[in-house]
Amino acid sequence: MGNWRRLLLVVVATAVAGVEPAGAQGASYTAPRLVGTENPDLNGIWQALSTANWDLRPHTAGPSPFPELLGTLGAVPAGNGVIQGNEIPYQPWAVDQQRQNFEGRLIRPNDNSTNETTGDPEAKCYLPGVPRATYMPFPFQIFHTPGQIFTAYAYAGATRQIHLGRQPQSPNFSWMGWSIGRWEGDTLVVDVTDQLGKTWLDRAGNFYSDAVHVVERYTPISPNHLLYEATIEDPTVFTRSWTIRMPLYRRIEENAEVLEFNCVEFAEEFLYGQFIEELDD
């Protein structure tokens, strides 16, 4: 082994030994309280820094869908995965469905039936649902008051309201579902139901149905970090419940703000361009 390799190993080992795990800090960390309450203040702009939106599971790097046109632009970054246990417990039929989803992720819809059953909803600028909205590569802002939490996402102008201290009935199924929150110590626990089930969990075609029940947990572990967990239960698709986990990072740069990513106009050609072409013919 060369001297530079030995030196590199020493430097890496020393750096790793000096890093305190986030969980260790979180065990003793007490977050600032929201004014007028005994609960942590979650106000701020947050963002996940992971490859979960490409694939929740461990995955290697991969080419873009059109490498002859894009080169490395749009390529898939490798990731260690965010699933506790690394695997999604699909029922046998759902394993095949996930594979079909991925293979057809960029099929251009030519009728409503194809549009409803084929292609990644992200490519169509559909609202991302929960939990995907949290770990898309865009920031989101939490507006926290004693009675509710309002979250605004950069992607597609998505928003959601988390009711605290009350449990109003859901008016209907929707892309972002219906969120009821409660506090367990310093952890915000959110029950999310009544999602349409038409979104995916990532670009790899992982999915759920409208029977899904998501339980989110937001726990402050340092002044600028939240530990995010989401347990996903759907007896239509999975054999058991399963959990994802990742840190969320506070955006601390000066004048940080959530800027619009209004992608509707970006998706129009993909969704409707062929119909315009047929009219032109």
Q: Tell how many helices (H) and how many strands (E) occur in the chain.
A: 7, 9
Q: How far apart are CA 274 and CA 279, in angstroms?
A: 9
Could you list the pLDDT tens digit for every one of the 281 residues in the chain? 455 445 444 444 444 444 444 444 556 899 999 999 999 999 999 999 999 999 999 999 999 999 999 999 999 999 999 999 999 999 999 999 999 999 999 988 888 888 888 999 999 999 999 999 999 999 999 999 999 999 999 999 999 999 999 999 999 999 999 999 999 999 999 999 999 999 999 999 999 999 999 999 999 999 999 999 999 999 999 999 999 999 999 999 999 999 999 999 999 998 888 777 665 65
Maximal CA-CA distance, the chain: 68
Residue 203's closest CA among 126, 121, 82, 270? 121
Q: What confidence score (pLDDT) does residue 26 get?
A: 55
Q: Count Cα neighbours of 63 within 13 Å in the Cβ-side half-sphere.
A: 7
Q: What confidence score (pLDDT) does residue 8 get?
A: 43
Contact between 148 and 163 under an 8 Å Cβ cutoff? The reply is yes
Residue bearing tokens 């939990």: 131
The domain ranges of the chain are: 33-280
By residue count, the chain amounts to 281
Residue 136's closest CA among 232, 203, 88, 63? 203
